[in-house]
Amino acid sequence: MKALLSLLFISMSTLLLAQEFSLPALPYSFASYEPYIDAQTMEIHHDKHHQAYVTNLNKALAGTKLATLSMNQLLMDVSFRSDAIRNNAGGHYNHSLFWEILAPKDKQTSVQATFEAAVNAQYGSMDSLRKALTQAASTRFGSGWAWLIVTPDKKLMVTSTGNQDNPIMDVAKDRGIPVLGIDVWEHAYYLKYQNKRADYLGGIFNLIDWGIVSEKYTKALVDPLLSEIEKDNWMALKDFHKVMAQTYHPAEEGNFVPLRTRSGDLLAKAILLSASKPPVVKDKANIHEALAKLEEQCEKIYELVEKNAKDAVLMKEITKAHDLFHQVEELCHD
Ligand code: MN
């Protein structure tokens, strides 16, 4: 019994440690979305395209320490991840949402009052919102998605992203929690509509379950992810962090080539960071002071590299810069 229990425990903790992503079932049969989306497109889109994102995401994560991260954690820091993770985590998240908000006409639930009131207040009417979404979807160049998101200030916003990016990602121009996404990749419509994206968009609005979108809106308003996005929304900090990581960590292991060749880049990013405007929640005097010190420290490192200083000297100074950076990060999380 004891052996059995510990076996069970081991397999459960393995599950907890490395949770594999899996393909969610489509809520309705492939043919239920006719005539707006044909059965064959639904089948290929779900069983082949979406499955490939899931398979390739699991492959990219397998055996790495990223395998324990949640989907939101993967998306939030996607600028630090490989292209394989960016494309496939995005692909998996985006399609999972897409299947949830689509329903055949006779299965759709009605729009809820709070959501409709928010739409009316910002867009005038549900019809104007549909127009704004159609506009975003039809003007997205190449492959991508049109979105309705809830922004950190709890407003609705229509936006779009390229490829399999989405607004949770730190690379997105407009960030927030998506409550509706429209796939405008040709694989979503080519068999029935060929290259006529406008005709597909005309059809897709017949399949949107506004009741489910309303529920997603209500949930997004109280989702802690919203304030995480707000706190995270500081690209200059991320840009600096990247160069810091790419120079400091090799130096720790005795390789000073990245630091010696990129000390100018490090200084440039520190200057941009110190001059950048932090998100409102991070806009505090002590952060600006710490950033000024960080900039000074990076300038010192740059000058030392110019003078061909010894590795040991550089190590001491880059460690100081690294400590200063972490002070900034801690101040941000207070
Ligand atoms: Mn797709």
Same domain assignment for residues 56 and 151: yes
In a domain, 10, yes or no: no
* Gap between the Cα atoms of 152 and 175, Å rounded: 8
Domain hosting 79: range is 33-223
φ, ψ (nearest 5 deg) of residue 288: -60, -40
Cα–chain center distance at 12: 28
CATH number assigned to the domain comprising residue 261? 1.20.120
* Gap between the Cα atoms of 61 and 76, Å rounded: 16
In a domain, 6, yes or no: no
Q: 165, 189, 223: which is the final residue of a domain?
A: 223
Which pTM was predicted?
0.78
Ligand 1 centroid from CA 51, angstroms: 11
Ligand 1 centroid from CA 161, angstroms: 13
Same domain assignment for residues 122 and 181: yes
Per-residue pLDDT of the chain (334 residues; tens, 9 = 90+): 455 555 455 445 444 556 799 999 999 999 999 999 999 999 999 999 999 999 999 999 999 989 999 999 999 989 888 999 999 999 999 999 999 999 999 999 999 999 999 999 999 999 999 999 999 999 998 999 999 999 999 999 999 999 999 999 999 989 999 999 999 999 999 989 888 899 999 999 999 999 999 999 999 999 999 988 987 778 888 889 999 999 999 999 999 999 999 999 999 999 999 998 877 666 788 889 999 999 999 999 999 999 999 999 999 999 999 999 998 888 876 5
Ligand 1 centroid from CA 185, angstroms: 6
In a domain, 17, yes or no: no
* Gap between the Cα atoms of 58 and 304, Å rounded: 44
Same domain assignment for residues 139 and 200: yes
Ligand 1 centroid from CA 45, angstroms: 6
Number of domains in the chain: 2
* Gap between the Cα atoms of 223 and 244, Å rounded: 31
Q: 197, 223, 249: which is the final residue of a domain?
A: 223
Ligand 1 centroid from CA 95, angstroms: 6
Same domain assignment for residues 60 and 208: yes
Ligand 1 centroid from CA 258, angstroms: 39
Same domain assignment for residues 214 and 241: no
Same domain assignment for residues 114 and 92: yes
Ligand 1 centroid from CA 226, angstroms: 25
The Cα-based distances of 210 to 46, 169, 179, 215, 248 in angstroms read 21, 25, 10, 9, 49
In a domain, 27, yes or no: no
Same domain assignment for residues 238 and 211: no
Same domain assignment for residues 216 and 241: no
Ligand 1 centroid from CA 145, angstroms: 9
* Gap between the Cα atoms of 111 and 170, Å rounded: 30
Burial class (CB in 10 A: 0-12, 13-18, 19+), 139: exposed
In a domain, 58, yes or no: yes
Ligand 1 centroid from CA 23, angstroms: 13
Same domain assignment for residues 74 and 130: yes
